[in-house]
Amino acid sequence: MCDTMVALAAATADGVTLFAKNSDRPPHERQVLEHVPSRREDVTTTTYLTIPGPDGPTLAVAGSRPTWMWGMEHGVNEAGVAVGNEMIFTTDDPRQAPAALTGMDLVRLALERSGTADEGVATITGLIERHGQGGSGHDHDDVPYWSSFLVADPTTAWVVETSGRTWEAEEVTATRAISNRTTIPAFDALHRAARQATGPFVDPRWEACTGALGERPVTEAGLRRHLRRHVGGDEGWTVCMHVDGLEATTASVVAALPPDRPPVARLLLGSPCRSVYVPLRVGEAFRSPDPERFAALTDDDRPALAALEAELDAALAAHDGPGWNDEALRRVDTALTAMGR
């Protein structure tokens, strides 16, 4: 389960495109915040498949990756392209597909190989047509599924929905939210399956996210507040998800994609309601923090975490030169140590 949102520049308070996602995964799973530098390679080895490498160098990426897989749940590249995916089910049965590219692989491939949102759509759809989708998206269970994607850059955003090697793309006009269901009308009419649990588990979250985007102008702080909310469903099936033993929000991102300077990705590990969004400048290297420290945070840590997040926001605004990412993570390390985490 996941929820992904975008607000194009004209819909935001600062006139900058905003991208956001909560990544809902098995509660035991850990994700790592990762800087992936630019590189050249003849072949790319993904979670299950080895494919030809790109024609030129890859783009540097900052994102969140479940530790057992190659692909990413969400991320932003140095060109200002942001991508996130959603688990969806359709009339085609993913259990019949051989292991190939997963939705998370396609997120990372699009980030590494695409300088614009349009190129991101072409990368995802071209790779699906050429190599197909398949393989489990979970480490402890055989859970294959198809994916939908939200792809954004400073001026443009697209929704891409897939079923096997079939896909459809729809351009975003102002704001858009996607969740664990087909949403493009024509694609939904053809491919919606009974296995899509749209009623109690998905539609309330999708509607809550759509409603949050309707509160104009959209702000980065407002998106952070929304991703922390326990709204959109019963028994833990909320935007900030807590379903014991089954699903939980284990990572999150809110990213600003300005057209004239490097993007800033506010990346979070653990549960948004009891963790901290760390603002990182995309393209600048950083050392991945220990995900276990964020998993150990509790409701009692919320006041200290809120103070840390405010401190990071103020320090970022005052920090003009290089070295911000190291400084930000040093401040996080100091604060977590003071909390005994």
Active site residues: 2
- Report the distance separating Cα 329 and Cα 16, nearest Å: 25
Using CA atoms, how far residue 296 sits from 237, 270, 337, 338, in Å, is 21, 8, 12, 13
Do 3 and 226 form a contact (C-beta atoms < 8 A)?
A: no
Q: In Å, what is the CA distance from 227 to each residue of 35, 43, 222, 254?
A: 23, 37, 9, 9
**Integer angstrom CA distances of residue 17 from 4, 41, 105:** 14, 31, 24
Picking from 236, 252, 333, the residue whose alpha carbon sits closest to that of residue 293 is 333
Residue 181 and residue 3 in contact, taking contact as beta carbons nearer than 8 Å: no
Cis status of the peptide bond prior to 26, with omega within 30 of 0: no
Beta-ladder partners of 255: 19, 265
